[in-house]
Amino acid sequence: MENIKVRLFTFIMVFLGLTLQAQENLKKIPEFLQYTNSKWVDSIMQELTPKERIAQLIMVAAYSNRDNAHKEEILKLINDQKIGGVIFFQGDPETQLTLMNDYQLASKVPLLGAIDAEWGLGMRLDNTISYPYQMALGAIQDDSLVYELGCEVARQIKRTGLHLNFAPVVDVNNNPNNPVINYRSFGENKENVSRKGIAYMRGMQDANLLTSAKHFPGHGDTDTDSHYALPQINHPFERLDSLEMYPFKELIDAGIGGVMVAHLNIPALDSTGVPSTLSKSIITGILKDSLGFKGLIVTDAMNMKGVTAGNEPGVVDKDAILAGNDLLEFTEDVPRAIEEVTKAVQQGLITQAALDERVRKILAVKQWVGLNEFKAQSPKNILKEINTPKAKFLNRKLVEASLTVLRNKNSILPLRKLDTLKIASISFGASGQTEFQKSLNLYTEVKNFQLKAGASASEVAKIKEKLSAYNLVIGGIHDDSRFPRNTMKFSKPVKDFIAELAGEEHTVFSYFKNPYSLNKLDGIENAAGLVLTYQDTKTTQDLAAQLIFGGVGANGRLPVSVGEKFKSGDGLDVKGKIRLKYTLPEDAGMNSNVLYGGVDSLMHEAIKKKATPGGQILVAKDGKVVLHKAYGFHKYSDTVRVKKNDIYDLASVTKISSALPALMKLHDEGKFELDAGIEDYLPYFKNSNKAEVPFRQILAHQARFKPWIPYWRNTLRENGSHKWFTFKKDSSRRFPVKVSEDLWLHRNYQKKIFKAIKKSDLEDEAKYKYSGLVFYLLPSIVEEISGEDFRKYINENFYNKLGATSLGYNPLERFEKSRIVPTEHDYLFRKKPIHGMVHDEGAIMMGGISANAGLFSNANDLAKLMQMYLNMGEYGGERYIEEETLKEWSTAQFPENNNHRGIGFDKPYLEYKGESSNTAKDASKASFGHTGFTGIYAWVDPAEDLLYLFLSNRVLPTRENTRLYQLNTRTNIQQVLYDAIEE
C-alpha cells in the first residue's frame, strides 16, 4: 500500500513537472537573450574588469536642456566609471541626439540609451508629439491602433539615438485617488490592461526597441506617490496574484523584454517592510522563480524617496543588485555603488558568475538593438523626420478612437435638423474662445461664452440670462492642468450651474478632464449628451466638436468606474460621417507634403505675381476636409489678412448654388419640368422668341440665348452720369433698390431687365453658348412655383439645414463689412470701390438677388452645399435632392453637339485642351462644378470623391487683371490634388 502511495505521489509530481515545463515552453522568451553568449558579447566581457562589469549595470540620468557642465559630468562618469547607459529626461531631440553621439564616442562599450516615453517623446522632449495618455488608450476598442502606436513611438525614440523605453505602464489602476499612476494606466480591467500592454509592447519590440513593463508587482492601488514616500499595499497574496500581477504575467508570457520594479511596501509578499525594489523575495522569488521571467529587470528611479528614505546612496544600489535587479536606473552615487557591489562580491553576498550573467544580459540587449555595429546618426532634419504627417495622423486616430459617449438620450448625438436649433456653447474653466468652440462653429453658427473655473454667482447669473435665447447648450468642461489630475477646482456656483444645465432636456457636455473627476460634479450624469475625451488638448477639443455634429463617430468604452455614476466598460456607439470631417490628408489617403507643398507654392506664386491679393482654399476627399487655408490679404496695399471665415463674392458660382438646387428640389416634387419652357412658369414670356425653348437646353447653354446684356449702360448719360429718372442719391418708396450707399434704383427697373431679356435676339445656331440671361429670371420662377419668397425658400430648404450660415445674398445685412473681402474699383457704373455688395452690375440692379450672381460665402460654408452635391443629394443625415436627379443634372446633355455642359453645372471639356482647359488633366468626366468671374472655382469629382474650392478676388482693383487665368492657378492647384492621392 505504501509503495502504491509513493508511486502515485511520484506520478503526480512528474505530471506537475511536465505541466509546468509545458507552460514554461509556452512563454515567449525575450529575443535579446539569444545574444548572451555571442562572439561580440564574449569579446566585450573579456575586455571588462570586474568593476567595469558592475558599471554596465548602472544607468545615470542625462538631460539635453542643461549646460556644458552637465555634459562634462556625464562624460566623466563614462570615462572614469565606464557606466553602461544613460536615461534621458527633459530637453529636445536635436540636442539629445548630438549628446548621445558624443557620449557613445567617449564610451569604451556602446551605451544603452533609455527614456520614459509612456505617451511618446512628448513626455520628455520639446517639439515632439504627445500621444494620448494610457487611460485614453484604454478606451480604444481596436488594439491594432495601440500596436501601431508602439511601432511609431519606437521609430521616434530610435531616431533620437535611444534603445529602451520604460513603458508600458501595466498597473491596474483600481484606486481613483492614485496620485502617481491614475491616467497613466490603461484602466481598472486587468484583461484590458493586459491586451493594451501587449499591443503597445509588441509594436515597440517589433520595431527593435526594448520595452519595460512597469511597475511590478503593481502600483495601481496606492494613494501615495512613491516619488515622495514609500506606499504600502496591504492586500493578501491571492488578490495580488490574481489582479495586480495578472498583466505582468501576461506580458511575460508574450515576450516582454524588460520589467521595472516599483518602490512599494507589500507585507503579503515581503514581511520585512523593505521596498519591493530591494526585496529578494519579490524580485528573485516571485518575478524570476515563480513567474519565470528571464528578461531584463530594471529598478524604478533610484533617487525616489520611496527607496532612498533611510538608505544611503550606493548602498541602496548594492541592495537592489542583491535583490535580483539587472539594471539600476538613476543611480545617484556611481563610484560608491560600484564599490559597494564590489565589496558584496568579496563578502560572498553575490558571486561574480551571477553578476556576469546580468552583464551578459545587458550586453545582449545592446547587440539586439544594433549597438555592436553602432553608427552615429545626424541630427539634420530630425524634427521633420520625427513629426511626420503619418505620426501626426496617428495621434488623431488614437484620440478619435478613444472618444467615449456616456449619455445620448433620444439620440441627441450627432445633432440633426440644424435649422431648428439655436445653439450656445459655454467653455467652463476657460477665459477665451477655445479650440472646441472654434470647431463647433465650423458646422453652424454657435454663440460662444466662457466661464472661469472660479466664477461667482453673479457671473453665472449673467450667462444664464443670455442662454434664454437658445434652445440647445453645448458645454465644454476644461482642465486647468497639463496633466488630467483627479481634481475639481470649479467654484460652487459653477458646479451648481453645470448640474442645473445637465438636468435640462437639450444640453450636451464634452468633458475634457480625468474621468474620475466626473464623480465630483453632481448631476452631470443626467445630461442628454455626455462625451468624454480623457484629457484637454487642441486635438481632443477639435474631435469632440466634430463628434457632436457627426463629422466623426465614437465607440470608446470607459476603462474605469466612476463611483456609482458609470462603470468600467460603459460607452455608447455613435454614428459619424454624416457631415464633413476636418482632418489630415493622410486620413483620406493623400500625401500631406505633396498637397500642402504644391498648393502653398502655387498660391504664393499667384499672390506674389499679383494675380489675386489673397484667397481661401478648401479641399475635401471622402467627406474629409484635408486642406482649409486662408492666404494673403484683402487688398494688395492692405494689412488685413484673409481669415478662414471671411466672406467672398461667389459671382457665377451663384448659378449652381442658389436657384439650381431649388429647381432640382422642385423637380423632385414634380413641380418643375426640364422639358417645359420659361413661359410655363412666367406667362410674360409666352409670345416671345424664347417661348417653348425647353429648360434642358436653356440650362445647358444651348438655347441660342445671347451671352449677356449690359443693362447698366442704358442708365448712363453720354457724359457718364446717372440718369435722374433711373437713380437717386437717397432711397424712397419709388427708389428702393440699393446699388451703392448713394445710388438707389427705381423700383420698376427689374421689369426693364425682364423686357430686355424677352426682346433680345437669338443666336443663329443652336450650339453651346454660355448665357446668363435666364438666371436673372430663375428667382421669380422659383417664387412662382413654390409660392414663397426666393431667399426664404433657399434659406429654409438648403442653407439653414446645411449650417451654411455665411452663404447668402446681401451680406452687409448680416455681417460686419470688415469680414467681407472687397472686389473691383468700379470706375464706370457705381464709380467707387465695391465692398460688401455684389460685383456684377446686373445682379446689383436686381437688388443683389439674382441667380446669375449675388451669393457670398466663405469656403467652409460653400463646401457643405458642394459636399451635398458630391454625396448625390444627402448631407447631415438628410436628403435634399434625389440621387437620380443629381446624376442627370451633372451629366453632359448634348455632347454630340460638342457641348460639355450639364444642366446648370459646368463639366470638363469633352477633350482636354491643356492649359486652356477648364479643369485639371486628371479631373474625371464625371466631375462638375462652376467658376466665378471674381476668381472663384467650385468643383467636385465623384470618381475620386473629391471637392475643391478656390475663393479669391482677382478683380481687385480691376477686372482687367487676368493673371489668375494666365497662370492657370486654379486648375494647376486642382491637379496637385490628384497628384497627392496615394495609390
Per-domain boundaries in the chain: 24-385, 403-579, 585-633+967-983, 635-921
- Which three cell numbers, joined as nine digits, stand for 957? 482693383
Maximum separation of any 2 CA atoms in the chain, in Å: 134
| Residue 223 pLDDT > 90 | no
HEC assignment per residue over 322-353: HHCCCEEECCCCHHHHHHHHHHHHHCCCCCHH
CB 690 within 8 A of CB 678: yes
State mean pLDDT over 910-931. 96
Instruction: Report pLDDT for 709.
Output: 85
State mean pLDDT over 540-551. 98
| Residue 226 pLDDT > 90 | no
Instruction: Report pLDDT for 311.
Output: 87
Chain segment 448-505, per-residue pLDDT in tens: 999 999 999 999 999 999 999 999 999 999 998 889 989 999 999 999 999 999 999 9
- In the block, cell 450667462 appears at 463
| Percent with pLDDT over 90 in the chain | 91
Average per-residue pLDDT in the chain?
95
The secondary element (H helix, E strand) that includes residue 632 is strand 624-632
- Which three cell numbers, joined as nine digits, stand for 630? 486662408
Q: Which residue has the higher pLDDT, 228 or 158?
A: 158
Instruction: Report pLDDT for 935.
Output: 98
| Residue 98 pLDDT > 90 | yes
Instruction: State the Cα–Cα distance between residues 468 and 447, nearest whole angstrom.
Output: 12
| Residue 22 pLDDT > 60 | no
**451 DSSP β-pair partners:** 428
Query: Is the bond preceding 168 in cis, omega lying within 30 degrees of 0?
Result: yes
State mean pLDDT over 529-548. 98
Instruction: State the Cα–Cα distance between residues 447 and 321, nearest whole angstrom.
Output: 62
| Residue 2 pLDDT > 80 | no
Instruction: Report pLDDT for 15.
Output: 46
Instruction: State the Cα–Cα distance between residues 472 and 421, nearest whole angstrom.
Output: 7
Instruction: State the Cα–Cα distance between residues 738 and 724, nearest whole angstrom.
Output: 15
| Residue 546 pLDDT > 90 | yes
Domain 635-921 fold is Beta-lactamase (3.40.710)
Domain 24-385 fold is TIM Barrel (3.20.20)
Chain segment 658-714, per-residue pLDDT in tens: 999 999 999 999 999 999 999 999 999 998 999 999 999 999 999 999 988 888 888
Instruction: Report pLDDT for 724.
Output: 87
Instruction: Report pLDDT for 3.
Output: 52
- Which three cell numbers, joined as nine digits, stand for 154? 519606437
Query: Is the bond preceding 414 in cis, omega lying within 30 degrees of 0?
Result: yes
Instruction: Please give the CATH number for the structural domain made up of 403-579.
Output: 3.40.50.1700
- Which three cell numbers, joined as nine digits, stand for 688? 416671345
Question: CA 109: distance to chain centroid?
Answer: 43
| Residue 397 pLDDT > 50 | yes
Cβ-proximal residues to 170 (8 Å cutoff; 6+ apart), any chain: 185, 186, 193, 194, 197, 213, 214, 247, 248, 251
Instruction: State the Cα–Cα distance between residues 919 and 974, nearest whole angstrom.
Output: 7
CB 873 within 8 A of CB 880: yes
CB 750 within 8 A of CB 726: no
CB 53 within 8 A of CB 355: yes
Chain segment 777-821, per-residue pLDDT in tens: 999 999 999 999 999 999 999 999 999 999 999 999 999 999 999
CB count, 10 Å around CB of 425?
A: 25
Instruction: Find, among 408, 523, 442, the residue nearest to 477 by Cα.
Output: 523
State mean pLDDT over 556-570. 97
Instruction: State the Cα–Cα distance between residues 646 and 860, nearest whole angstrom.
Output: 10
- Which three cell numbers, joined as nine digits, stand for 904? 446648370
| Residue 12 pLDDT > 70 | no
State mean pLDDT over 594-616. 98
Model confidence band, residue 718 (pLDDT cutoffs 50, 70, 90): confident
Kindly state the DSSP code that residue 822 receives in the 8-state scheme.
Answer: P
- Which three cell numbers, joined as nine digits, stand for 504? 435640462
Chain segment 233-275, per-residue pLDDT in tens: 999 999 999 999 999 999 999 999 999 999 999 999 999 999 9
